[in-house]
């Protein structure tokens, strides 16, 4: 069995990085000081071999909130009690959740497609509600567009910002006033965006360029990619760290940093993977560093405050007790539709490692 792991989202909490594995059902943690990864337990009410169960993880008051992608539940894990709470969510039978933002006691769960709902979850009562005002405002802006996709959400106070995939539209929604605004800008084929005090940082589906829109009338090309063979989204995510903007590559291209009045620094030594392998996807702050977690077959890297890129560890389950625990649970899952030959193979493997 391949024990290389991947994740859409991980979060650091009390010296551990917690994450939902992307390739099969499992809650894992990684000790920051050693890089050792351990299997904790499966997420309840989901298939054991589900791919892409969760899209986002947030740590709030000794609890981890896992927001579904292909899964059917919000999972809340109490770290101190080692217990799960599951909240079913209607994902319209397809991939769900573009992003999730925590604001003033609520987690706002943004849909991926326009026929899905914006939900808000109270972290105290765990009551899950739909937000009708968002659905109405969304329909008014993109009613003529089919299968419109929201990509990435960022916030400044109660205002949340996002863009619509493949369009020239970026938008904002204030969760307190329930007001919606949209902006048509001079950048086409938007992949996603990130908003901070400087404006809206935009990256596209067709090249590695990085743009900045000031929410007035001005759009500036901040970084022009020198490569000419980019035919798909180049960056997976843009975030702010160490007084700069960072663009995480989707494939093994350049990681780009913009800092100190639009100075540019590029990094290209973080991976040796093939060009079309999805590499890094998410980030989480660990003390005074930003750690980059892989979705595909890559290692874990960190960005330091002085803008150095360091390799931290492999993203692979090497702990033998965790392997035995996972495989034992896989064998006990009577509802899992494995062929008898697969069961025999796993049984022989477990005997071989002494499980």
Query: What is the mean predicted confidence (pLDDT) over 107-120?
Result: 90
Residue predicted with more confidence, 272 or 57: 57
Taken in order 161, 163, 164, 170, is the CA torsion positive or negative? positive
- How does residue 234 score in pLDDT terms, banded at 50, 70 and 90? confident
Residue 55, pLDDT score: 93
Question: Is the model's pLDDT at 213 over the cut of 50?
Answer: yes
Average pLDDT of the segment spanning 228-241: 75
Q: Please check whether residue 324 lies inside any domain of the structure.
A: yes
Q: What share of the chain is helix, strand, coil (3-state, %, to 5)?
A: 10, 45, 45
pLDDT reported for residue 252: 61
Whether the CB-CB separation of 174 and 156 falls below 8 Å is answered with no
Task: Give the sheet arrangement for strand 27-31, strand by strand.
Answer: 10-13, 16-20, 27-31, 37-41
Specify if 335 maps to a domain: yes
Q: Summarize the confidence of residues 179-186 as an average pLDDT.
A: 91
Residue 352 lies in a domain: yes
Q: Per the structure block, which two tokens stand in for 177?
A: 């006033």
pLDDT(331) > 80? no
**Position 289 in a domain:** no
SS3 271: coil
Q: Which of 123-132, 256-265, 272-281 has the lowest mean pLDDT?
A: 272-281
Is there a domain that residue 274 lies in? no
The DSSP bridge pattern shows strands 235-241 and 280-286 to be unpaired
What's the pLDDT score for residue 216? 85
**Distance between CA atoms of residues 98 and 247, nearest Å:** 18
Task: With cut-offs at 50, 70 and 90, classify the pLDDT of residue 177.
Answer: very high
Q: Which of 212, 237, 208, 213 is nearest to 224 (CA)?
A: 208
Task: Supply the pLDDT for residue 231.
Answer: 56
Q: Give CA angle at 308 (304, 311), nearest 5°.
A: 85
Q: In percent, how much of the chain has pLDDT > 90?
A: 54
Which residues, including other chains, have CB under 8 Å from residue 248's CB and lie 6 or more apart?
A: 235, 236, 237, 238, 239, 255, 280, 281, 283, 292
Q: Which domain holds residue 338?
A: 319-355
pLDDT of residue 14: 94
Residue 1 binned pLDDT confidence (cut-offs 50, 70, 90): low
**pLDDT at residue 354 greater than cutoff 70:** no
Burial class (CB in 10 A: 0-12, 13-18, 19+), 257: buried
Please say whether the beta carbons of 253 and 232 come within 8 A.
Answer: no
User: Is residue 299, in this structure, part of any structural domain at all?
Assistant: no
Q: What is the pLDDT of residue 96?
A: 86
Write down the pLDDT at residue 45: 93
Report helix, strand or coil for 57: strand
pLDDT at 355 over 50: no
Assess if residue 25 is contained within a domain: no
Where does the pLDDT of residue 225 fall: very low under 50, low under 70, confident under 90, or very high at 90 and above?
A: confident
- Average pLDDT rounded to a whole number, residues 174-180: 94
What value does the mean pLDDT take over residues 313-324?
91
Predicted pLDDT at 233: 61
**Domains identified in the chain, total number:** 1
Mean pLDDT, range 254-272, rounded to an integer: 81
Among 297, 323, 335, CA closest to 48: 335
Q: Does residue 78 surpass a pLDDT of 70? A: yes
What average pLDDT does range 40-67 have in this prediction?
94
pLDDT at 100: 96
55-64, 147-156, 336-345, range with the lowest pLDDT? 336-345
pLDDT confidence of residue 23: 86
Across the chain, what does the average pLDDT equal?
85
Residue 88: pLDDT above 50? yes
Distances (CA, A) of 309 to 93, 196, 265: 40, 23, 11
The residue ranking higher by pLDDT, 53 or 234, is 53
* Per-residue pLDDT, 93: 62
Q: Please check whether residue 125 lies inside any domain of the structure.
A: no
User: What are the counts of helices (DSSP H) followed by strands (DSSP E) for the chain?
Assistant: 3, 28
pLDDT for position 352: 43
């Amino acid at each position: 069995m391949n024990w290389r792991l991947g994740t859409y989202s991980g979060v650091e909490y009390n010296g551990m990085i917690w994450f939902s594995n992307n390739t099969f059902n499992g809650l894992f943690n990684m000790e920051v000081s050693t890089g050792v990864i351990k299997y904790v337990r499966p997420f309840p009410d989901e298939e054991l071999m589900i791919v892409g169960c969760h899209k986002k993880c947030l740590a709030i008051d000794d609890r981890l909130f896992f927001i579904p992608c292909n899964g059917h539940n919000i999972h809340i894990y109490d770290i101190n009690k080692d217990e799960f709470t599951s909240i079913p969510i209607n994902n319209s039978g397809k991939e769900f959740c573009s992003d999730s933002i925590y604001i003033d006691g609520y987690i706002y769960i943004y849909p991926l497609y326009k026929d899905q709902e914006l939900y808000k979850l109270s972290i105290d009562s765990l009551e899950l509600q739909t937000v009708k005002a968002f659905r109405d405002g969304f329909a008014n802006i993109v009613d003529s567009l089919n299968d419109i996709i929201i990509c990435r959400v960022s916030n400044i106070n109660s205002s949340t910002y996002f863009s619509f995939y493949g369009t020239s539209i970026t938008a904002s929604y204030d969760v307190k006033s329930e007001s919606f605004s949209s902006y048509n800008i001079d950048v086409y084929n938007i992949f996603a965006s990130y908003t901070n005090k400087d404006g809206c940082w935009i990256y596209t589906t067709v090249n590695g360029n990085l743009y900045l829109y000031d929410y007035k009338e001005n759009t500036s090309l901040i970084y022009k990619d020198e490569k000419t063979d980019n035919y798909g989204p180049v960056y997976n995510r843009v975030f702010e760290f160490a007084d700069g903007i960072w663009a995480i590559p989707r494939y093994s291209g350049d990681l780009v940093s913009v800092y100190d009045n639009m100075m540019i620094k590029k990094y290209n030594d973080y991976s040796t993977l093939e060009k079309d392998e999805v590499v890094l996807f998410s980030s989480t702050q660990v003390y005074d560093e930003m750690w980059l977690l892989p979705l595909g077959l890559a290692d874990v890297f960190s960005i330091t405050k002085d803008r150095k890129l360091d390799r931290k560890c492999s993203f692979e389950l090497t702990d033998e007790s965790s392997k035995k625990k996972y495989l034992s649970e896989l064998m006990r899952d009577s509802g899992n539709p494995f062929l008898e030959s697969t069961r025999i193979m796993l049984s022989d493997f477990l005997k071989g490692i002494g499980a």
